[in-house]
Amino acid sequence: MSALNDEVNIYLTPGDPRRAEISQDPYPFYERLRAHDPVYRSDQSLWLITSWDEASQFAKEECFSRDPLALTPPAARAQAWESLPLATRVFLSGMMFRDDPEHARLRRLVHKAFTPARVRQSQASIEQTARDLLEPLRERETFDFVSEFAVHLPTQVICRVMGMSASTTEAFVRWTEGMLDIQEPGDHPESLLREADRKAQECLDAFTGIFAARRRQPTDDLISDLVAANAADDEPMTDEQLVGQCILLHTGGHETTAYVLANGVIAFDRFPGQRALVRSDPSLVPRAIEEILRYDSSGRQLYARTAVADVPIGDHVIPRGERVTAIIGAVNRDPRKFERPGVFDIMRPDAGRHLAFGAGPTFCAGAHLARAELETAFRLLSTQFPPLRVVDDEVAYIDTALKRAPERLTVAWDR
C-alpha cells in the first residue's frame, strides 16, 4: 500500500489520531494528492477531486446525485422514503439533498423569496449587528474571535432575515441538533432515533403554526415571502418540505460564514501587507473577500454525490454507484487555474473563480447574504477598529473532513 494511499485513508477516517496533523494544514496533502492523480479513487470507493476543471465539471454534471435514495428502483422509492425516520425525511427535504427536477422546483421557490433585494434590505441590520457585537470587544486586551464574534453574526442575521423570534430560534437549534444526530452514517440506538423523531415532530408542529400565522398575517421577512411564493405556485411544497428549506437556510450559513470570518483574520495576520492594503483603501474589501474564500474557505468538501451512470471525468470513468466529492481547498489552490496559489493576494485578477460556493445548478443559495455579512464585518474592522493580531502561537483547527475551522482564535487589537 502506498504512502499516499495510507494518507488518504487517514484523511477519510473520523477519529484517527493521525488525521489531526492533516487538519492542521491540509494543503501539502492536497498537493500530493493532485500531483499523483487529480481524480483519485480511495479504498472506500469514494473518489476525491482536487483539480479545478474536473471539480467544475463534477459540480455541474447531472449524472451525479445528492439523493441518498438515488439508486433505489423507482417502484420501491415511495416505500423506502416512508420507512425513513421522520427526522431524516424532514432533513432530506432540503433542496441540497434533492435532484432535478425536484431540486430545481424547490430552488426556484426559495429564490423567489430569498432575493438580492431582501439581502440589500437587511444591510443596515447586518451592520448594526456587527457593530453591537464588536463594540464591547474594543476595550478587551484579548478575546476569542470565533466564540465571541464570528459565530454570533451569521446566527443573529439569519434569524432576523427569516423573522424568527429568539425563543423560536432557541427551540429550533435544539430540534435541528437532535435531527442532525442521526444523519451521520452508521447504525443509531433506538432511543436516539425516537428522540430525533420527537424533535422533528415538535419542529414540524411549531413551523406549521408559524406558516399558518404568516398566511393569515404576512410580516416583512423571509418566512412570509417563502409562504406567499409557495401559495402562488402551481406545484407548492408541503409543510414538511417548507420546514426542510427553513432548516437548510437557517443552518447552512452559520458555521460556513463564521469560519470564513476567522480564516480571513488569520490570512490577514499572515500577510500583513494585504491587511495594510485594505485598510488604506476599503473599496478593496469585496476583492479581499473573494481571495479569502479562495485561499482558505471554511467548507472542505462539496456534498458527496453518487454516480447514477458511468461518468467520464478527467482520465477516469467513474462507475455507476460510486461516490464522488471535490475538495474545495485543493481545487481553489490548483496551480493550473491560479498563479502562486499558496499566496494570499487580494489583487489577483481571478480570485472570484474559486469554487468556495460550489458551481452550476447547486451554487450556494445564500452566497449573496454570506458576501454581505463578510464584507460588512471586514469593512467595519478595516475602517473603525485597530488591526487584529493573532495571539495564538499555533492556531488549533477542528479535526473533521468537512470543515476548515479554527477551534478558537485568540486575537488582540494592535493599537
Question: In the complex, which residues of this chain contact ligand HEM (CB under 6 A)?
Answer: 59, 95-96, 107, 158, 248-249, 252-253, 256-257, 260, 297-299, 302-303, 356-358, 362, 364-366, 369-370
CB atoms within 10 A of CB 235: 11
CB of 114 to ligand HEM, least distance (A): 7
Closest CB 98 distance from ligand HEM, rounded Å:
8
Burial 287-312, CB ≥16 within 10 A → b, else e: bbbbbbbbbbbbbbbbeebbbbeebe
CB-nearer residue toward ligand HEM: 197 or 285:
285
Least CB distance to ligand HEM at residue 5 (A)? 26
Residues in a beta bridge with 305: 324
Measured distance CA(33)–CA(48) in Å, rounded: 9
What is the nearest approach in angstroms of ligand HEM to the Cβ of residue 262? 11
Closer residue to ligand HEM, CB minimum distance, 204 or 260: 260
369 close to 157: Cβ distance less than 8 angstroms? yes
CB of 130 to ligand HEM, least distance (A): 14
Nearer to ligand HEM, 96 or 277 (CB): 96
- Closest to ligand HEM by CB, 99 vs 197, is 99
Question: Are β-strands 323-326 and 46-49 bridged in parallel, bridged antiparallel, or unpaired?
Answer: parallel
Contact 385, 378 (CB under 8 A): no
Chain position whose Cβ is nearest to ligand HEM: 366
- For the chain, helix (H) and strand (E) counts, in that order, are 20, 10
8/59 with CB nearer ligand HEM: 59
- Name the residue nearer to ligand HEM (CB basis): 197 or 371: 371
β-strand partners of 307: 64
**Contact indicator for 412, 391 with CB cutoff of 8 Å:** yes
* For ligand HEM, the closer CB: 153 or 197: 153
CB of 107 to ligand HEM, least distance (A): 5
Q: Which of 362, 368, 350 is nearest to 325 (CA)?
A: 362
* Nearest distance from C-beta of residue 217 to ligand HEM, angstroms: 24
Q: Among candidates 387, 229, 350, 329, which has minimal Cα distance to 25?
A: 329
What cell does 382 get? 478595516
The vertex-93 CA angle with 88 and 94, nearest 5°, equals: 110
